[in-house]
Amino acid sequence: MNELLGSVWHGMIFDENDKSYFVQKNGITFLLDKSEGEKEIGAMLEGFGYQNQKQQNIFTTKIPSVRKDHQDFAEVIASRKDLGVFVDIGLKDKEIVVSLDELPEMRQLWPKKGDQLLVSLKTDEKDRVWASLAEDVDFLAMSKAGTKEEMHNKNVSGIVYRLKLVGTFFITDERYIGFIHPSERFEEPRLGEKVSGRVIGVRPDGMLNVSLKPRGYEVISSDAQMILTFLERSEEGKIPFSDKSTPESIQETFAISKGQFKRALGSLMKEKMIKQEDGWTVLIKKEEI
- Specify the CATH number for the domain of residue 89: 2.40.50.140
- Answer yes or no: is 206 within a domain: yes
- Specify the CATH number for the domain of residue 31: 2.40.50.330
Q: Which domain holds residue 283?
A: 218-288
- Answer yes or no: is 139 within a domain: no
| Same domain membership, residue 123 and residue 77 | yes
- Answer yes or no: is 66 within a domain: no
To the nearest 10 degrees (0 to 180), the angle between helices 258-270 and 222-233 is 80
Q: In angstroms, rounded to a whole number, what is the distance separating the alpha carbons of residues 190 and 174?
A: 20
Tell me: pLDDT of 27 over 60.
yes
> What's the alpha-carbon Rg for the chain, to the nearest Å?
29
What lies within 8 Å, CB to CB, of 248 at 6+ separation is none
- Answer yes or no: is 196 within a domain: yes
Task: Tell me the whole-structure pTM to 2 decimals.
Answer: 0.74
Q: Is residue 225 left, alpha or beta, with left meaning phi > 0 and alpha meaning psi from -120 to 50?
A: alpha
| Same domain membership, residue 165 and residue 192 | yes
For residue 159, give the H/E element and its range.
Answer: strand 155-164
Boundary of a domain, candidates 213, 230, 246: 213
The dihedral sign for the CA sequence 35, 38, 40, 46: negative
- Measured between alpha carbons, how far apart are the two ends of the chain, in Å? 69
Asked whether 14 and 41 are in contact (CB, 8 A), the reply is: yes
Per-residue pLDDT tens digits for 150-195: 898 899 999 999 999 999 999 999 999 999 999 898 899 999 999 9
| Same domain membership, residue 197 and residue 148 | yes
| Same domain membership, residue 130 and residue 78 | yes
| Same domain membership, residue 200 and residue 151 | yes
- Specify the CATH number for the domain of residue 260: 1.10.10.10
- Answer yes or no: is 65 within a domain: no
Q: For the residues 124-135, what does the mean pLDDT come to?
A: 94
| Same domain membership, residue 100 and residue 85 | yes
What is the domain count for the chain? 4
Cα distances from 41 to residues 13, 45, 277, in angstroms, run: 5, 11, 87
| Same domain membership, residue 227 and residue 205 | no
Q: In angstroms, rounded to a whole number, what is the distance separating the alpha carbons of residues 75 and 66?
A: 11
Q: What is the pLDDT of residue 289?
A: 45
Q: What is the mean pLDDT of the chain?
A: 92
Per-residue pLDDT tens digits for 219-254: 667 788 889 888 988 888 999 999 999 999 999 998
Asked whether 256 and 250 are in contact (CB, 8 A), the reply is: yes
For residue 261, give the H/E element and its range.
Answer: helix 258-270
